[in-house]
Each structure stands twice: as structure tokens, then as C-alpha cells.
Amino acid sequence: MAAPGSAPIDSTSKAVTPAPGLAGTAARQQTITATIVAIDPKLPSVSFTGPRGWNYTTRVEDKALLSKFKVGDKVDITWTEATLVSVEDAK
């Protein structure tokens, strides 16, 4: 959970890592401060809103965690997307 009064985060970092031959990895990591807008203990799930109109709902595996949060809480969320590519001659 984001500390009360802390500045919202909205950052993205990118990296491309070449490998020997025709291969490499491209990755992007994004961190945002999102606001919890709904908690559904029956599903269980949590819904968030964030910067630039970002909206997301996800299921929660550990129902007990839901009791630690309330609607209006701000949380920092980080996710990473990566692609690994390798090209070889046809055999």
C-alpha cells in the first residue's frame, strides 16, 4: 500500500538486451499508483483505477488479504512485459 501523502507514481522503463547471433530480449516495466475502487469478497476480486484512464479488475487468490484493504486505498502496482526472440536457420 502506498504511504499516506506520498506522491503518485507513473513511470515506465524499457530495456533491450541483444544476445549472440540473431537473438535478444525486449522488456518494459511499468509502475503506477492506483486507487482501489471496489472489493468483492464473494468472487474474490479487487478493482483499481489509475493514471490516464487505466482501469483493472483482478481476482484475489488469498481471500484473507482483502481484509487489509478498503475502497479508497492507494497501492503501487508494478508489472513487467518481456519478449525473448531467437532466430535459427531452417533445417
pLDDT one digit per residue (tens) for the chain, 91 residues: 777 778 888 889 999 999 888 899 999 999 999 999 999 999 999 999 999 999 999 999 999 989 999 999 999 999 999 999 998 888 8
**pLDDT reported for residue 54:** 92
**pLDDT reported for residue 91:** 81
Predicted structure pTM score: 0.73
**pLDDT reported for residue 21:** 86
Taking a C-beta distance cutoff of 8 angstroms, is the pair 89, 62 a contact? no
Q: Which of 54, 26, 49, 19 is nearest to 37 (CA)?
A: 49
**Within a 10 A sphere around the Cβ of 3, how many other Cβ atoms?**
8
Q: Cβ contacts of residue 11 below 8 Å, gap of 6+?
A: 30, 31, 32
Strands (DSSP E) found in the chain: 10-19, 23-40, 45-49, 55-59, 74-86
